[in-house]
Amino acid sequence: MADNKFVYIFGNNDTEGKNSMKDLLGGKGANLAEMSNLGIPVPVGFTITTEVCTLYLKNGQYPLGLEEHIDNAIKQLESTTKKNFGDLKNPLLLSVRSGARVSMPGMMDTVLNLGLNDDSVVGLATKTGNERFAYDSYRRFLTMFANVVLDIDHDKFESALSSKKKDKCVKQDNDLEVEDLKELVEKFKTIIKDETGKEFPQNAREQLQMAIDAVFSSWNNQRAKTYRKLNGIPREWGTAVNVQSMVYGNMGETSGTGVAFTRDPATGEKRFFGEYLINAQGEDVVAGIRTPQPIKTLKNTMPKVYDQLVDIYMKLEDHFKEMQDIEFTIEKGKLFMLQTRTGKRTAAAAIKIATEMVEEGLIDKDTALLRVEPEQIDRLLHPNIDPTSTYEVMATGLPASPGAAVGEVVFTAEHAEEMAKNGEKTILVRAETSPEDIGGMNAAEGILTVRGGMTSHAAVVARGMGKPCVAGCGEITIDIKEKIFNVGDYTIKEGDMISIDGSTGNVILGEVELILPGVTDELETILKWADEVRTLKVRTNADTPHDAEVARDFGAEGIGLCRTEHMFFGEDRIPAVREMIMAEDIESRKIALKKLLPMQREDFIGIFKAMEGFPVTIRLLDPPLHEFLPVHEEVMEKLRELESSDASQEEMERVKKIGERIEYLKEINPMLGHRGCRLGITYPEIYEMQAQAIIEAACELSKDGMKIVPEIMIPLVSHVKELEFVKKHVTTVVESVMEEMGIKLDYLLGTMIELPRAVLTADQIAKEAEFFSFGTNDLTQTTFGFSRDDAGKFLPFYLESGILEDDPFAVLDQDGVGQLVKIGIEKGRSTRPDIKIGICGEHGGEPKSIKFGHNVGLNYVSCSPFRVPIARLAAAHAVLENKQ
Ligand code: PEP
Ligand code: MG
């Protein structure tokens, strides 16, 4: 331990700490010392260091000499304040507060007026000539001490206070008279005796020791532990204790207490923002007992104090170069600062403050970028629930696609589409969604599913559309026949209003108020600065020209994944797609594919145009085929109907065949079945048609002078020979189309790396592939052996019990899947050093995963359009954090 110094004084000429000593003094202690160094009035006090906490919790006892250090510090406080601790005539009273390096809700917070007892309260009354004040302070002290030190329920004191107010027919605490307060003090002491079996401790030094013990012990209470775990705060940090001489905001009409921010924490506007209460102590403002007044009215009531406060807040902001959240007390017209810390703020405020502080010359651009969290941007791009509204949460699922939505419950995609035609807003509630639901998902305001994880169909598609989605809400049971869903004690009917919050996973009863923050100039500025810093490119996952345009507007530098299977579900193509699947021989399959060819060509023309000048990675078909056919039960139902009607034999045969084909194609485990390049190998003509459509589209546009950069991507490759096989077919088509059209176009042919075998043989695969794109959704699925679609049943438990810290389908598992990514990159570059490598799984839009991607040397990430701005900022953070 550093020269056995356990205690640091602040608030007088002997101040020993400073702002840079946060690790030792905690945030509160370090900043109190710093204010004192700046000449700002701070009540004198001392900080017991975090090292003491760590030793106390480790050894079960305090380090030798601590008691003496505390006694010496108290002497200093006594000499500065000219009051004596434990004195009966002129008592020094103290506040005791915890203070970790970062503010930590859940720990013991504050005890005020410590040092009072049955005798000193009389002394305080005589000395101040204010008996009411003395007993008001004593009853407050008893309540706080009992609650935070002795762990007695606060309600016991609150209800005694309320019944006293009721007896006296008064509303406010302030309206109680001295005699009432005296009675309350007696009552409170009795509660303490009843609850603890011991008298309330009258000795001031004993009170102080008990409060210090309570602060240190609270570092390890359950609430604090949970908070630390959630926020990645190490247990070893410990907390400091701040002991400070009391100043009184409850000494009459020229006293008061308040909290303020140096800028508006909601909007970021540069104005002094805050509130205060006259004749009150700190906890009254927070507890909302009386309605505080806006800070600007202080200008009229106490102009001098107001001016001084303004000077101080400006000085603090200038000094810390950051928006401050301050606490102050006025004692008989004299101002004291009790705390200053970095103020919490909304996303909009964070961006405004960061950009304006650069303009004001307070901070540089890099600092500004680091002051905005990438995830905060998400809040600015979607409607959100008005934070001032109250609502009833019925259940919570996965926060699968951010933003909030309100609408009437519908249970089918068709219903959502019908309602949308009439201008009605809906929430589509499904057990899970399938590609057939796309139209309805697009028509609904939001999507709620019972099953499926963060990479389920619903989640992926909703994110792509920028639609709010709560997925995998297993508490819900849908009764599709009755057109209801049940959750807990609620039964929700079709047509009932509900709201969902895709940022939190909440499913809410009824309609909530939404707010839509727009993309501001300040956000544009931050993103522009981010672009100047980052080296990682950001592309988008988009399958329609519209999504591509949205993403381009958000700054996407190309498409990293165009899932062509999403194009096969358009109403106009389903008949041809079904014909292709039903085909019994290659000839009839080719006839069906011929019908699809012009439609695909148009699709690609649209997408290439929207991304002109940027690379567009088009992935060849990758779903299980049966997904394109109707549901088996529906077909069987149809067959029964036909049988009982006078339908022709031919028609019945046709429907029967569809049923048989569905049965044939059905797989036990479709996620590991006949999908990806396995389809392109068994039916090469499908990939040939797609390659033809891609290259015809690209050649046609480049004939018109456009710069088109196509990249053809083969999915689910595990063996280099699979790639060789498909590549041969694809390149033959590509070459012949180019020759026919008389154009030589640069294009790339590459592969997804989404299976462990592909990673482990990436050196061989790179010989055939000109680029790699890590499909981290499938790579996570196959590395963990967790089904993407079924993990929702157990993953929540894994997260709750701490087996996993994050959902690996949302945040890349760096230790496991991340290792595979690293190996894949190394092996790939060992045979093709300049191979272009990206990520196009959902992790491509998640900040921690993006930073990982930067650090392992990816060239780009690709994410859904609405996450492009987040990815741009996260990529810049990756560079800046490495510099630090
Ligand atoms: C992946 O597996 O990460 C991927 C992008 O492909 P998909 O989600 O379409 O399987
Ligand atoms: Mg995949």
pLDDT at 106 over 70: no
678 vs 14: CA distance, rounded Å: 77
Residue 845 Cβ contacting ligand 1 at under 6 Å: no
Residue 863 Cβ contacting ligand 1 at under 6 Å: no
CA nearest ligand 1 atom 5, residue: 841
Residue 561 Cβ contacting ligand 1 at under 6 Å: yes
Of the pLDDT bands very low, low, confident and very high (cuts 50, 70, 90), residue 281 is confident
Cβ neighbors of 559 (< 8 A, separation 6 or more) are 539, 540, 541, 542, 548, 551, 607, 611, 614, 615, 616, 617, 618, 862
Surrounding residues of ion ligand 2, Cβ less than 5 A:
754, 775, 778
563 vs 565: CA distance, rounded Å: 6
* 327 residue type, one letter: E
Asked whether the beta carbons of 289 and 296 are under 8 A apart, the reply is: no
Across the chain, which distance is largest between two alpha carbons, in Å?
A: 108
Asked whether the beta carbons of 482 and 495 are under 8 A apart, the reply is: no
Buried b (16+ CB within 10 A) or exposed e, 28-50: bbbbbbbbbbbebebbbbbbbbb
Range 858-868 average pLDDT: 96
pLDDT at 518: 63
Given the residues 382, 457, 854, 877, the one annotated as active site: 457
What are the tens digits of pLDDT across the range 309-334? 999 999 999 999 999 999 999 999 99
840 is catalytic: yes
CA nearest ligand 1 atom 4, residue: 775
pLDDT at 346 over 60: yes
Of the pLDDT bands very low, low, confident and very high (cuts 50, 70, 90), residue 287 is low
Probe ligand 1: pick from 457, 563, 564, max atoms within 8 Å of CB? 563
SS (H, E, C) 172-194: CHHHCCHHHHHHHHHHHHHHHHH
The proportion of the chain whose per-residue pLDDT surpasses 70, expressed as a percent, equals 98
401 vs 508: CA distance, rounded Å: 16
404 vs 393: CA distance, rounded Å: 13
What are the tens digits of pLDDT across the range 387-433? 788 899 999 998 888 899 999 999 999 999 999 988 899 999 999 88
Of the pLDDT bands very low, low, confident and very high (cuts 50, 70, 90), residue 801 is confident
What are the tens digits of pLDDT across the range 130-158? 999 999 999 999 999 999 899 998 889 98
pTM metric for this prediction? 0.83
Q: Is 587 annotated as a binding residue?
A: no
Per 3-state DSSP, the chain is made up of helix, strand and coil in percentages (nearest 5) of 50, 15, 30
212 vs 112: CA distance, rounded Å: 13
Residue 841 Cβ contacting ligand 1 at under 6 Å: yes
pLDDT at 252: 86
754 vs 773: CA distance, rounded Å: 8
What are the tens digits of pLDDT across the range 14-68? 899 999 999 999 999 999 999 999 999 999 999 999 999 999 989 999 999 999 9
Residue 566 Cβ contacting ligand 1 at under 6 Å: no
Q: How far is the CA of 518 from the centre of ligand 2 (A)?
A: 33
pLDDT at 754 over 70: yes
pLDDT at 2 over 60: no
CA nearest ligand 1 atom 6, residue: 775
pLDDT at 105: 66
Probe ligand 1: pick from 754, 776, 789, max atoms within 8 Å of CB? 754
Q: Which ligand is nearest to the CA of 617?
A: 1
Q: Is 754 annotated as a binding residue?
A: yes
Q: How far is the CA of 372 from the centre of ligand 1 (A)?
A: 29
Residue 563 Cβ contacting ligand 1 at under 6 Å: yes
Of the pLDDT bands very low, low, confident and very high (cuts 50, 70, 90), residue 289 is low
Probe ligand 1: pick from 461, 561, 820, max atoms within 8 Å of CB? 561
DSSP output for 402-415: -SEEEEEEESSHHH
What are the tens digits of pLDDT across the range 804-862? 989 999 999 999 999 999 999 999 999 999 999 999 999 999 999 999 999 999 999 99
Cβ neighbors of 521 (< 8 A, separation 6 or more) are none
pLDDT at 384: 87
Closest CA to 559 of 606, 614, 497: 614
Q: How far is the CA of 561 from the centre of ligand 1 (A)?
A: 9
pLDDT at 612: 97
What are the tens digits of pLDDT across the range 699-722? 999 999 999 999 999 999 999 999
Structure tokens at 595: 């019908």
pLDDT at 405: 96
Q: How far is the CA of 762 from the centre of ligand 2 (A)?
A: 16
863 is catalytic: no
Name the one residue in this structure whose structure tokens are 């699922």: 397
Asked whether the beta carbons of 299 and 266 are under 8 A apart, the reply is: no
User: Which atom of ligand 1 lies nearest, measured to the CA of 778?
Assistant: 2
Mean pLDDT of the chain: 92
Helix or strand holding residue 624 (H, E): none
